[in-house]
Structure formats: structure tokens, C-alpha cells
């Protein structure tokens, strides 16, 4: 199991050469980083979910002289909110990225009691093959940087919605696993655009990075897991995951199964 890279590689995407940034991540083996700060919008969404009441109501007015303030809404008490979150069951997200979208599965529980609480197809790009399109442009670097920023925003919005939906079911998402390819090192952008196989490799890395950055901005601990390792595994948990399809219904392809397994491997109850 490998962890994902720091912000530096992805920042290079927006700053200069997106493809080279991806290759830097591959060379470093996707070393793990957890961003300490939570995105302000995510924090606002969390506050809205746990109860954003009107501060002008009677419960929040200052008591008159000689009166004693009694009661109050526990949902607006910071300590109470923290206790609620601490008592939620742990959950994790698994993502199998494709060109322009990702298969996402959210799980709780564990072996013998796997609880799939959400599964979705998340589209994070209006252009499914940005490197293919960039090949014919005069300034492919700027175009790819714009695409990277747009994909990260879409991934951020989608993952935020998933996290808040899980909290409504008393599940606290703390971890995210992203399935990785074999991970060949990518050269500079001109060489990538001159090679069709490298274009496909770069696009896979491009969208994995978008999901990674979005997860870290939401304060998730993001881990990269080589998909090949999951395919080679042979254990009861894989068989249990496969059997879930009969009750969950479609889609339950290798995308969902491997995303589910990856999520379970990083799940912290």
C-alpha cells in the first residue's frame, strides 16, 4: 500500500507543466500527506448539516438583568457537535478513476459486516481526454492547467456532498483510497504529446491527482493503492464483496468491487 503525494506535484500542474507534475508524483511513489486544514466551504457545509439555526431567536438573546438563561439548543454547542462526530461510525471512500470520471464507493463496517452506504459515478471533467485535445493547441500547458483546476473543483464538490450525505447516516468519512495504475514515470509534456500510449498514461494520472487534491482539501487521509495488488489478493473479503452484488444490484462491476476493497483496506472504525 502506498500513500499519495504532497501538494507540490499538483501545484506544478497549475504553475507550469501538468504532465511533469504527474511524473514527479510517480517517481516519489505517492508518499502520503494529510492536509491539516479543512476547506472553508466544506466547513460551512458541515455547519449547515449539523444545525445552522437563527442567531437572532430568543434562545440566543442576552438575558435581561436579574434573569437566568436556561436551556439552549445542544446542536449549537461546539462540544456537543464534537461529541456527535466522535461517536459516529467510521467510513471510507474508494475511488477507481477513469478518463473524466470516477467510480466511487463509500463503506463502513468490516469483514463479515460490510456496509456499502453510497456508490456513485462522479464526472469531474467536461473533456474526458484533455491530453488528446491539448495535442493540437498552441499552448497545451495553459490549457491543461485550466482543466486540472476545473476537475479538482468538480471532484471537491462531489466528495463534499458524499461526506455530508454519510454524516446524515451517522457515518464519519475520514479516509479515502484511490486505485493506482502500474505507474510508469512520465517525461516532459512535449514527449507525452508525441506518444499516444503516454497520453493515455498521463490522462489517468491527471484525474487521479484531481481526486487526490480534492480529498486532501476536505481533510481526508488519502492513500494510493496499486490496483494490481488488489487483483492478486485472494481472501474471504474479496468473495464477500463479490457477493454484495446480489443484494445491491447493478452496477457492481470490477470498478465498484475494487473501489470497495480499497476503501475497506484504509477504513478506520
* pLDDT bracket for residue 269 (50, 70, 90): low
* Separation between Cα atoms, residue 177 and residue 180, nearest integer Å: 9
Q: Which residues contact 246 (CB under 8 A, 6 or more apart)?
A: none
- Across the range 57-81, mean pLDDT stands at 45
Most confident of 5-14, 38-47, 56-65, 80-89: 80-89
pLDDT greater at residue 178 or residue 44: 178
- For the cut 90, the answer to whether the pLDDT of residue 13 exceeds it is no
pLDDT digits (tens, 9 = 90+) for 40-53: 443 444 443 333 33
pLDDT digits (tens, 9 = 90+) for 81-134: 566 677 899 999 999 999 999 999 999 999 999 999 999 999 999 998 999 999
pLDDT at 22: 39
Domains of the chain (ranges, CATH numbers):
2-50+74-265 (3.30.420.10)
- For the cut 50, the answer to whether the pLDDT of residue 33 exceeds it is no
- For the cut 60, the answer to whether the pLDDT of residue 38 exceeds it is no
pLDDT greater at residue 36 or residue 160: 160
pLDDT at 136: 86
- For the cut 70, the answer to whether the pLDDT of residue 255 exceeds it is yes
Amino acid at each position: 500500500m502506498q500513500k499519495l503525494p504532497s501538494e507540490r506535484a499538483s501545484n506544478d500542474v497549475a504553475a507550469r507543466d501538468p504532465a511533469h507534475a504527474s511524473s514527479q508524483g510517480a517517481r516519489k511513489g505517492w508518499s502520503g500527506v494529510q492536509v491539516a486544514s479543512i476547506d472553508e466551504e466544506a466547513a460551512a457545509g458541515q455547519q449547515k448539516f449539523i444545525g445552522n439555526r437563527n442567531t437572532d431567536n430568543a434562545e440566543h438573546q442576552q438575558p435581561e438583568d436579574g434573569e437566568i438563561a436556561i436551556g439552549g439548543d445542544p446542536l449549537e454547542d461546539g462540544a456537543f457537535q464534537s461529541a456527535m462526530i466522535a461517536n459516529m461510525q467510521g467510513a471510507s471512500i474508494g475511488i477507481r478513476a477513469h478518463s473524466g470520471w470516477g467510480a466511487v464507493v463509500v463503506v463502513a463496517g468490516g469483514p463479515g459486516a460490510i456496509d456499502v452506504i453510497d456508490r456513485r459515478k462522479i464526472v469531474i471533467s467536461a473533456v474526458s481526454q484533455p491530453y488528446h485535445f491539448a495535442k493540437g493547441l498552441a499552448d497545451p500547458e495553459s490549457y491543461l492547467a485550466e482543466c486540472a483546476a476545473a476537475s479538482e473543483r468538480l471532484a471537491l464538490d462531489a466528495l463534499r456532498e458524499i461526506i455530508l450525505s454519510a454524516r446524515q447516516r451517522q457515518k464519519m468519512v475520514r479516509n479515502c483510497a484511490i486505485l493506482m495504475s502500474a505507474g510508469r514515470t512520465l517525461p516532459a509534456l512535449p514527449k507525452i504529446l508525441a506518444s499516444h500510449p503516454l497520453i493515455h498514461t498521463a490522462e489517468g494520472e491527471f484525474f487521479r491527482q484531481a481526486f487526490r487534491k480534492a480529498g486532501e482539501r476536505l481533510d481526508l487521509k488519502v492513500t494510493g493503492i496499486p490496483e494490481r495488488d488488489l487483483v492478486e489478493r485472494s481472501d474471504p473479503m474479496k468473495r464477500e464483496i463479490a457477493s454484495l452484488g446480489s443484494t445491491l444490484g447493478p452496477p457492481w462491476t470490477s470498478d465498484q468491487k475494487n473501489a470497495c476493497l480499497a476503501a475497506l483496506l484504509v477504513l478506520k472504525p
